[in-house]
């Protein structure tokens, strides 16, 4: 199974900051990578698919990049509603679909 590793596992930032979360695959996955946002007690929400394509309705301050094994999610100007946990997921080789362990973004 392909292993997905996110970094950092958690960190603190302030509104207005630019933040970047990284995700590394244990083997090449082309661009078959998605990013999800999850708030406490809620279901995950798809933000980005195909590594860099913004899901409809997602604010443009979110962007994704990368291919192969290394990927990033960037939030250009943090808003209060962006404090959440973020997960990457590969869908290049399945089963199983695999998720990263999550990155919890907290308010500084």
Partner 1 sequence: EVQLVESGGGLVKPGGSLRLSCAASGFTFSSYSMNWVRQAPGKGLEWVSSISSSSSYIYYADSVKGRFTISRDNAKNSLYLQMNSLRAEDTAVYYCAREGTGRRGFDLWGRGTLVTVSS
Enumerate binding residues for partner 1 (CB under 8 A): 32, 34, 36, 38, 42-46, 49-50, 53, 55, 87, 89, 91, 94-102
CB 67 within 8 A of CB 24: no
Q: Smaller CB distance to partner 1: residue 83 or 100?
A: 100
Q: What gap in Å lies between CA 46 and CA 68, rounded to an integer? A: 20
Find the angle CA(76)-CA(105)-CA(10) to the nearest 5 degrees: 125
90, 33 Cβ separation under 8 angstroms: yes
Judged by beta carbon, residue 19 or residue 88, the one nearer partner 1 is 88
* Least separation in angstroms between CB 16 and partner 1: 28
Helix (H, G, I), strand (E, B) or coil at 87: strand
Comparing CB distances to partner 1, the nearer of 13 and 50 is 50
CB of 13 to partner 1, least distance (A): 20
Which C-beta is closer to partner 1: that of 16 or that of 95?
A: 95
> Angle at the Cα of 24 (from 40 to 105), degrees rounded to 5?
25
């Amino acid at each position: 199974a392909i292993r997905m590793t996110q970094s950092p596992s958690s960190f603190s930032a302030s509104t207005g900051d630019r933040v970047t979360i990284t995700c590394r695959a244990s083997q090449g996955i082309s661009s078959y990578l998605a990013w999800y946002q999850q708030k406490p007690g809620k279901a995950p929400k798809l933000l980005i698919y195909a590594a860099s394509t913004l899901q409809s309705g997602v604010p443009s301050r979110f962007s994704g990049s990368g291919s192969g094994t290394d990927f990033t999610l960037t939030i250009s100007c943090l808003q209060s509603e962006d404090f959440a946990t973020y997960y990457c997921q590969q869908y290049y080789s399945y089963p199983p679909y695999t998720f990263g362990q999550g990155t919890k973004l907290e308010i500084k």
